[in-house]
């Protein structure tokens, strides 16, 4: 695919608990993106600390780490034209009440601490996380 890029999407514990994995995959596929890798993982504290390194000084980090280890996570690498930017739009705002209806967070969640899904904001950060 010409000008194709890849992004990293993680469906968080609440996304699995609410049985939203199929719906989220369906939305990305209907948009025309192709899943090229998918895995169900139980996250470790070390992996999460590396993943959330930019939040290391935030007071909510301990609770976030506990939450992210409470249930498995589905990680997916998606490929397609402008998948990073389009994927972020599909996710909605980090704070669900700020998300528009029709986005994943706008349709399925109400609080920032349980916002269902994680997605990368640049091709470079996606490639780093994919690695």
> Which residue positions form the known binding site?
12, 60, 88, 94, 105, 115
The whole-angstrom distance between residue 49's C-alpha and the CA centroid of its chain comes to: 16
Beta bridge pairs of residue 8: 77
**Whether residue 51 lies in the annotated active site:** no
User: Catalytic residue among 118, 119, 126, 129, which?
Assistant: 118
Helix (H, G, I), strand (E, B) or coil at 5: strand
- Residues that constitute the known binding site for ATP: 12, 60, 88, 94, 105, 115
Pure H helices in the chain: 13-17, 21-30, 45-51, 61-68, 83-91, 104-108, 123-130
Active site residues: 118
């Amino acid at each position: 695919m010409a000008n194709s890029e890849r992004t990293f999407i993680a469906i968080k514990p609440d996304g699995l608990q609410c049985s939203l994995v199929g719906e989220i995959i369906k939305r990305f596929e209907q948009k025309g993106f192709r899943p090229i890798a998918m895995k169900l993982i139980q996250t470790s504290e070390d992996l999460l600390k590396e993943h959330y390194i930019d939040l290391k000084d935030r007071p909510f980090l301990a609770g976030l780490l506990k939450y992210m280890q409470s249930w498995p996570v589905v990680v997916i690498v998606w490929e397609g034209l402008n998948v990073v930017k389009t994927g972020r739009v599909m996710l909605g705002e980090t704070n669900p009440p700020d998300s528009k209806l029709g986005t994943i967070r706008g349709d399925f969640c109400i609080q920032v601490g349980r916002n269902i899904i994680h997605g990368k904001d640049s091709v470079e950060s996606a490639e780093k996380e994919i690695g």
